[in-house]
Amino acid sequence: MRSFVLQSCCSGLRQVCGRRMVAFLACLLVLGAFSGALFAQGAPSLTVSLGGGADNDPANVSSAIQIVLLMTVLTLAPSLLMLMTSFTRIVVVLGFIRGAIGLQGAPSNQILVGMSLFLTMFVMTPTVKRLNEDALQPYLNKQISTIEFGQRASLPLKTFMLKQARPSEVDFFLGLSGQTAAKPEEFPLTVVVPAFVLSELRTAFQMGFLIYIPFLVIDFLVSATLMSMGMMMMPPMMISLPFKLLLFVLVDGWHLIVRSLVESFAV
């Protein structure tokens, strides 16, 4: 018994150490790639003092703060991608398609997420172009400050989110925050992002309901047919799944779904 406990503890320690080592190596690779990109673009070098003296060079302090802020933004990048772009609506609708057909692992989660990511890049291309022209390029050319860069960069995103968000959701969060805004550009991101996320989830569930209706009709017809034939023990899913796939292929379902998703953001 004692040897079994020791073996279990040792195997658990090896798994934890292995996972930490993999995470540590992944962090080193990300930091190495990031530093290489910075030096390739001619980023200013940082002077790190290990002694007790203080660094009085304002340029070094400013660069260090900028890199810390940039690393913070990179940490929040997945959340920004999911909640401030069209990714939420697309991935939820694609998940509804798989559930409506009745498939458990086809397409896999990796395929759905990858497809959602590239569709998000396609939908967000005009917004990214505007952000690059109005904020990123002037900032790289040292024409604007960091604070002004943040203000200019948030404006295209807020315009996109406010265009898709319901006015009632925006008014609700604006009233809860106790703030007032005369123009859409003055709305804070703490109000725009929650309103946008709720509106996206509502729209995605509406599209999911419409997607479920034809497949639900097929399930109902198959179940009624099997019961009328006295085949109580036959699973209806086994019979209805081929008919669902046939219907989805005949109507070119993927094209219709992707087209509906892309056009829903153009309204």
pLDDT profile of the chain (267 residues), mean per 10? 42 43 39 39 40 46 70 77 87 90 83 90 90 85 81 85 88 81 75 90 92 89 83 77 88 90 83
Q: Is there a cis peptide before residue 58, judged by omega within 30 degrees of 0?
A: no
Q: How far apart are CA 129 and CA 136, in angstroms?
A: 10
What per-residue confidence (pLDDT) applies to 89?
A: 92
User: Which pLDDT belongs to residue 52?
Assistant: 41
The predicted structure's pLDDT at residue 83: 84
* Contact predicate 119/93, CB 8 Å: no
Predicted pLDDT of residue 143: 85
**Per-residue confidence (pLDDT) for residue 39, from 0 to 100:** 35
- pLDDT value of position 118: 92
What was the pLDDT predicted at 81? 76
Q: Which are the contacts of 35, defined by CB distance < 8 A and separation ≥ 6?
A: none
Per-residue model confidence (pLDDT) at position 4: 39
Amino acid 56: pLDDT: 52
Amino acid at 251: V
Q: What is the 3-state secondary structure (H, E, C) of the chain?
A: CHHHHHHHHHHHHHHHHHHHHHHHHHHHHHHHHHHHHHHHCCCCCCCCCCCCCCCCCHHHHHHHHHHHHHHHHHHCHHHHHHHCCCHHHHHHHHHHHHHHHCCCCCCCHHHHHHHHHHHHHHHCHHHHHHHHHHHHHHHHCCCCCHHHHHHHHHHHHHHHHHHHCCHHHHHHHHHHHCCCCCCHHHCCHHHHHHHHHHHHHHHHHHHHHHHHHHHHHHHHHHHHHHHHCCCCCCCHHHHHHHHHHHHHHHCCHHHHHHHHHHHHHHC
> Which residue bears the tokens 């989660």?
109
Please report the pLDDT score of residue 207 as a whole number.
92
* Cα gap 157→199, rounded to integer Å: 15
Q: How close are the terminal C-alpha atoms of the chain, in Å?
A: 67
Q: Which pLDDT score is estimated for 90?
A: 92
What pLDDT is recorded for position 267? Answer: 58
| 222 close to 236: Cβ distance less than 8 angstroms | yes
pLDDT confidence of residue 138: 85
- Which residue, chain included where needed, has tokens 């948030």? 154
Instruction: Report pLDDT for 72.
Output: 76
Among candidates 165, 157, 170, which has minimal Cα distance to 201?
A: 165
Smallest Cα–Cα separation from 135: which of 154, 122, 121?
154
